[in-house]
Every structure is written in structure tokens, then in C-alpha cells.
Structure 1
């Protein structure tokens, strides 16, 4: 498992960890029942505070991505892939809505917005 932390990102470190773990689960790189590194171990590997790692794990647990067995560790929860997909689609819709609002604010034609989306989509 490879988690990359960016100090220059505007996103809090715990969010970076939780979003990367969500992506690993969503992409099937972390499977149901698979154990995660301990909070202390992950904090040590990433050279960050245990509190930060704990917060990331708590967020993942609250959202149902992982579960913790006291004294045993944290594990990937059974996921309904359709629910995960719907969550991702909702995030995309929200971000696209922001882009539409910003483009309307500067009166950017929809054709230009579609071209921009096409270029970005095809270059990733």
C-alpha cells in the first residue's frame, strides 16, 4: 500500500490519507477483510502524528469503509460496489456543478466548457 502525503496540498493530511485509502478500496486494491497497517505503524511510515492517522481511520470507519476490532486492528469492510460508485458519481456531479456555476459567472459558452472537459478527460 502506497500512500503519498503532500505538504503543499491545501487538503488536510488526514483527508489525503482517507481519500487515498477510499480509492484503494474502490479500485479493488484493498479487499474486504484485508487488514490495514496499525495507526502507529502508518504514522511512523508517513512520518506524521498518530493523532492524524487516527483521525483518518475514524473518518473511514464512520463512513463504513473500514471497521476496527479492539486489540486486533482495522480491516476493510464489505462494500457494496454500487453504493461506492454512486458516492463517486455524487462527488463528480458536485464538482461539475461548481464548474458550471463558475463558467456562467464569466459567461463562458457551454461549447467552450465542453471542449475543456473533453481535453482534460482525454489527457488524464
Structure 2
């Protein structure tokens, strides 16, 4: 798994790290039980503070994507199927909201938007 950070991004580095690890888990690139790099090891390879990688790991653990075992390291959490489903559902909901907003910007009526979605589901 390669993590690429951008100092010119408007997103904090810890969020970039978190998003890329989460994406690797959701895509199956990282599988259940797989060990992640140590906090210090990842920080050194990315040339960032250990505090930055610690924040990313803490957030991922709070969201249920990884588990940390004291003295052993951090691992991809088991039972991610439900998390993956929920994450994909949030992505679809976001796409639908953006589509509705775009349709309204284009002057579509509620009936036209409903028809558009109904046709897309057939």
C-alpha cells in the first residue's frame, strides 16, 4: 500500500493518510487481520510527525476500520463488511444529493427529478 501525501492539499495530512488507508480497506487491498505499518515507521516513510500518523490511526480505530493491540501493532479490523456497506451507502447518498442539486440548478422540477431517478433504477 502506497500512501501519497500532498503538502499543497487543503486537507490535513492526517486526513489524507486516514482516507487512503480507509480506501485500501474498502477496496480489499488491505484485508482483515493484515498488519499496518507501525505509527513511527509510517511517519518516517512519509516524513511526517508520529503525531500525524497517530491521529490517523486513532480516527480509523474510532470508526472501526482498524484495531490496535498493545505491544503488537495495528491491524485491519474484522467484520468490515458492514462498515464497507455503510460507507458505500454514504457515497451513493452523497451522489444522489449532488445529482438532485445539479438537477435543480438546471431547472428540473421535482417530477422530472423523480422520473430521472426512476429511469436510472430500471
Please give the TM-score of this superposition, normalised by the length of structure 1. 0.77
- The 2-side partners of 1:25 and 1:80 are apart by 8
Give the root-mean-square deviation of aligned CA atoms: 2.1
Q: Which residue of 2 aligns with 1:25?
A: 25
Q: 2-side partners of 1:46 and 1:99: how far apart? A: 37
Contact 1:65–1:79 at 8 Å: present in 2 too? no
Bigger Cα Rg: 2
Within a 5 Å distance, the mapping from 1:71-90 to structure 2 comes to 71-90=71-90
Tell me, yes or no, if the aligned pair for 1:14 and 1:53 is still in contact at 8 Å. Answer: yes
Q: TM-score, normalised by structure 2?
A: 0.78
**Farther off after superposition, 90-99 or 29-38:** 90-99
Gaps of 5+ in 1: 115-124
- Quote the offset at 1:94 in angstroms: 2.7
Q: 4+ runs of 1 displaced by more than 6 Å? A: none
Number of matched pairs: 110
| Distance in structure 1 (CA, Å) of the matches to 2:10 and 2:58 | 21
By how many angstroms is 1:90 displaced? 1.1
Offset of residue 68 of structure 1: 0.7
Instruction: Tell whether 2:3 aligns with 1:3.
Output: yes
Moved more, 80-89 or 91-100: 91-100
Note the C-alpha offset of 1:96: 3.9
Q: Please give the per-residue CA displacement for 1:65-86, whole angstroms capped at 9, x wherever unaligned.
A: 1111111110111133243122
- Which segments of 5 or more consecutive residues in structure 2 lack a partner in the other structure? 117-122
Q: Is the 8 A contact 2:3 2:17 kept in 1?
A: yes
